[in-house]
Amino acid sequence: MKRYEQYIRKVVPYVPGEQPHFSDMIKLNTNENPYPPTPAVQEALQSQQGECMRLYPDPTAHQLNAAIAKAYHVEEEQVFTGVGSDDVLAMIFQTFFNSDMPILFPDITYAFYPVWCSLFRIPYEILPLNEKFEIVPEEYFRPNGGIVFPNPNAPTGIALPLSDIERILQHNAESIVVIDEAYVDFGAQSALPLLEKYENLIVVQTFSKSRSMAGERIGFAIASKKLIKVLHDVKYSFNSYTMNHSAIVTGAAAVADEAYLQKITAKIVSTRENTKKVLSGLGFVFPNSKSNFLFVTHPDLDAHALFKALREEHIFVRWFDMPRIRNYLRITIGTDAQMEKLFAFLQHYLDTQKK
Amino acid sequence: MKRYEQYIRKVVPYVPGEQPHFSDMIKLNTNENPYPPTPAVQEALQSQQGECMRLYPDPTAHQLNAAIAKAYHVEEEQVFTGVGSDDVLAMIFQTFFNSDMPILFPDITYAFYPVWCSLFRIPYEILPLNEKFEIVPEEYFRPNGGIVFPNPNAPTGIALPLSDIERILQHNAESIVVIDEAYVDFGAQSALPLLEKYENLIVVQTFSKSRSMAGERIGFAIASKKLIKVLHDVKYSFNSYTMNHSAIVTGAAAVADEAYLQKITAKIVSTRENTKKVLSGLGFVFPNSKSNFLFVTHPDLDAHALFKALREEHIFVRWFDMPRIRNYLRITIGTDAQMEKLFAFLQHYLDTQKK
């Protein structure tokens, strides 16, 4: 063994999430939006000149940040953008979570929080959701080095009321509290209105879900100017140019079309509510999701067996090999037509099982 | 002061490189290519459908990596791509430089090497260039935790012959040796042919210079399958989707057009050689650059004063407030027309100084 091999960073090898490609597939496994982005994105793509590519992109991503600021009624100095909300969240962890006290997050939540803690050597404490898979605000009233959770939480889809988020903020004036709102546009209350009162709050959102832009990798944080300035300082100190020209122009175009966002999220919410009725009728049980996915279980079915049966039919959903949730499936809300195919398969599968 | 403020990461605040916008400006400050990318990039931009954006990009960036592999006659498993070569280099530092022994790099070189060392807590030792600003291979024949330098070096533009790079590799079979070839296409010898013999070699290149694609943020590493697999393992472990859809499709289009690359780099080399003659005639002194910039000084001129005088004329070049090189300017090679304007100004400036 060469000496350099001893000094290679040790990681748990990870296979990126399945991105299957079948012409007939129904892809309900990564919470993508079944509808295309606003036509304004197509126009922005077409309007790009190869000539623009020769220059470095604007390191401040001014065009994009200004468009986000306008859409969310904040100042541009309150906006930080990154290569997907993963990049934004990782930068927040690296910038703000340097205490010896553990940061707090739920046991069932976004899988990358513990990964970034390990990467940046951040101590953390996992707080269990209650038996209904809800975040218990009182659990977060303890000394900590920071707090982070998604709202709605993933993969449960359960939203915490704004009043509970405010209680957590009231008990944590000395900590940075990060609310990861990847799925907020599908029916939860955003914590953005709390920014005026709480300088320690950071709200993170993404273009990957409600804005149908997963392919362009755009996430953002909105917080006080003070915290956003620090994030920029840290980012510029080691990587000035993260947002490419295409992401800046298409992102700016996407965020300007509020009407389209309302239209497609309303469609998805409507499909979700119908899906709840149908799946209930089939005997499935699930928390009351406010996101673009349902987290379902069935008293008579083995979730992993069902997951594999769905795969056979080229219907892709997500199964987690984790304590407490091994008998659940996370199903992204697709189009009505896609969900109808899912319902038909599930009906058939249940009939077969009963024989 | 709030408690969380104590735990904010301390960085040296850094202002990203000046990206001025004047219609009449001559921008010779960030080593961008004065020519647009291949028309194939324009076609790739136009061919994108907004619809593609709704899905996550391919985390393996297969289309791009395969195109790079084909262009450089290596296997796809030998290619790692990132968001600019900064992202690739940072990932290499983080993955391979975990020894307690210092990594080695020159005193006058790319400014981000010590920054990443500080970010990832990597010990380092700075080895001075000789009085001609050349890398001295023998200096690198000492115990180390890794080696990295650009070839040609920046901001000197001096290229190290392949035989010297091979000597460094021969003396460092137990270390990872990274050759940062951002500027190699302008006349230096690439270390790629040495990959067959040295499994510890990593060659890093970028689309930002010779391929006129700074705006899309595409860098890559080529090395043994073994080292590239480890890089992918580390990357996937904490951020699976870094290359967006636009970068993947435009990058693949760009790298396939070898003839265009040859054509525009030949033009830049020709302009560079002419610039050397003219600047020599004006009394400037500089190392023999093999890159797309010259690193110049003048026995009768104060570089910082000249830098400011050029700015007044909207001619932007780069001055470094650093030991040994305070009386130098780094001037990117632009078009012939841009260089003519630079020459005219310098002639006039010298005439004025002599009065």
Q: What is the pLDDT of residues A143-163, one digit of tens each?
A: 999 999 999 999 999 999 999
Which residue in the set A4, A246, A247 is minimally distant from B175, CB to CB?
A: A4
In 3D space, the residue among B232, B199, B263 whose CA is nearest the CA of residue B36 turns out to be: B263
For residue A242, the chain B residues in CB contact (below 8 A) are 83, 87, 217
Task: Return the pLDDT at A168.
Answer: 98
Give residues with Cβ within 8 angstroms of B246, minimum separation 6. A45, A216, A244, A246, A247, A250, B45, B48, B216
Query: Confidence band (pLDDT; 50, 70, 90) for B10?
Result: confident
For residue A35, the chain B residues in CB contact (below 8 A) are 54
Q: What is the pLDDT of residues A81-106, one digit of tens each?
A: 999 999 999 999 999 999 999 999 99
Residue B148, helix vs strand vs coil? strand
Interface test with A, best of B29, B53, B97 (most A CBs within 10 A): B53
Which residue in the set B50, B55, B95 is minimally distant from A32, CB to CB?
A: B55
In 3D space, the residue among B61, B97, B67, B56 whose CA is nearest the CA of residue B82 turns out to be: B61
Q: What is the mean pLDDT of residues A208-219?
A: 97
In 3D space, the residue among A174, A176, A135 whose CA is nearest the CA of residue A154 turns out to be: A135
**Nearest-neighbour CA in chain A from B13: distance (Å):** 5
Q: What is the 3-state secondary structure (H, E, C) of A177-220?
A: EEEECCCHHHCCCCCHHHHHCCCCEEEEEECCCCCCCHHHCCEE
Give residues with Cβ within 8 angstroms of B150, minimum separation 6. B109, B110, B179, B180, B181, B182, B183
Two tokens, residue A111: 């899988």
Q: What is the mean pLDDT of residues A252-277?
A: 98
In 3D space, the residue among A185, A230, A176 whose CA is nearest the CA of residue A207 turns out to be: A185
How far is it, in rounded angstroms, from Cα A253 to Cα A251? 5
Give residues with Cβ within 8 angstroms of A57, minimum separation 6. A241, A243, A244, A245, A248, B214, B215, B217
The answer to whether B316 and B25 are in contact (CB under 8 A) is yes
Separation of first and last alpha carbons in chain B: 58
Give the CA distances from residue A35 to residues A26, A125, B54, in Å, rounded to whole numbers and listed in that order.
13, 38, 7
Q: What is the DSSP letter of A243?
A: S
- Strands B219-223 and B79-82 come out as antiparallel
ipTM of the complex model: 0.95
Q: How many helices (H) and strands (E) does chain B have?
A: 11, 12
Question: Are A245 and B30 within 8 A, CB to CB?
Answer: no
Q: What is the pLDDT of residues A59-78, one digit of tens each?
A: 999 999 999 999 999 999 99
In this structure, how many other beta carbons lie within 10 angstroms of the beta carbon of residue B151? Answer: 26
Give the CA distances from residue A315 to residues A30, A309, B266, in Å, rounded to whole numbers and listed in that order.
12, 9, 52
Which residue in the set B199, B212, B244 is minimally distant from A54, CB to CB?
A: B212
Residue B228: closest C-alpha in chain A: A8
Asked whether residue A16 carries a pLDDT value surpassing 90, the answer given is no
Chain centroid to Cα B72, Å, comes to 18
0.90 exceeded by pTM: yes
- Strands A219-222 and A79-82 come out as antiparallel
Longest alpha-carbon distance in chain A: 66
Which residue in the set B6, B96, B241 is minimally distant from A217, CB to CB?
A: B241
Q: What is the pLDDT of residues B171-183, one digit of tens each?
A: 999 999 999 999 9
